[in-house]
Amino acid sequence: MIEFHDVSKTFAGRPAASHLNLHFAEGAFSVLIGTSGSGKSTTLKMINRLVEHDSGTIRFAGEEIRSLPVLELRRRMGYAIQSIGLFPHWTVAQNIATVLQLEKWSRGKINERVDELMALLGLDASLRDRYPHQLSGGQQQRVGVARALAANPQVLLMDEPFGALDPVTRGALQAEMSRIHRILGRTIVLVTHDIDEALRLADRLIL
């Protein structure tokens, strides 16, 4: 599904990734683990071209990623991050529907998809019209994951998505992601520095 061939990246002369050769299998829950500053987030961002690699080749579904328009590539990949990044003045439903509106889905289809994702992520329907500041940290993160999954991406990229949560909420969301992976069979690539989280979630662990 995603392949790195001899990929390197430097920032101001300092290597962030050196001669990487990686394979993320289709349908697998792959976890990339490493200490802070080890280049794991850079590796993830090179997949959807938030960071451009300096050398080597990255292929997605058999295609060299630089042969694809950036927006097309990113629309095929959901992206969830630790800081969540919800729009504060938009409701839960509006935040989940962000990509769907950009893709000009009909209002009826958007409403159906939002309801479907809220149910999948364990978000009560009563939260639909609430704003991010009215939600708990765990609920906000669920909304962020729902938004990342909204347009049925082929791949879900997750960068330390549960790092800011308390241990109980973090454990609940880890279990939720394992359940979602079993249901959807989606290819997931998650970055973490937490070995316990990695062992709990990974089909394939990449050090």
Q: Are 31 and 201 in contact (CB under 8 A)?
A: yes
Strands 63-64, 55-60: pairing is antiparallel
Q: In what order do the strands lie in the sheet with 14-24?
A: 14-24, 2-11, 55-60, 63-64
2-205: CATH topology is Rossmann fold (3.40.50)
Structure tokens at 137: 């940290």
pLDDT recorded at residue 81 = 81
pLDDT recorded at residue 182 = 92
Query: CA-to-CA distance for 176 and 170, rounded, in angstroms?
Result: 10
pLDDT recorded at residue 83 = 65
pLDDT by residue for the chain (207 residues), tens digit each?
A: 999 999 999 999 999 999 999 999 999 999 999 877 788 999 999 999 999 999 999 999 999 999 999 999 998 999 988 766 899 999 999 999 999 998 899 999 999 999 999 999 999 999 999 999 999 989 999 999 999 999 999 999 999 888 778 889 889 889 989 999 999 999 999 999 999 999 999 999 997
Where b means 16+ CB within 10 Å and e means fewer, 159-179 reads: bbbbbebeeebbebbbebbee
pTM of the model: 0.89
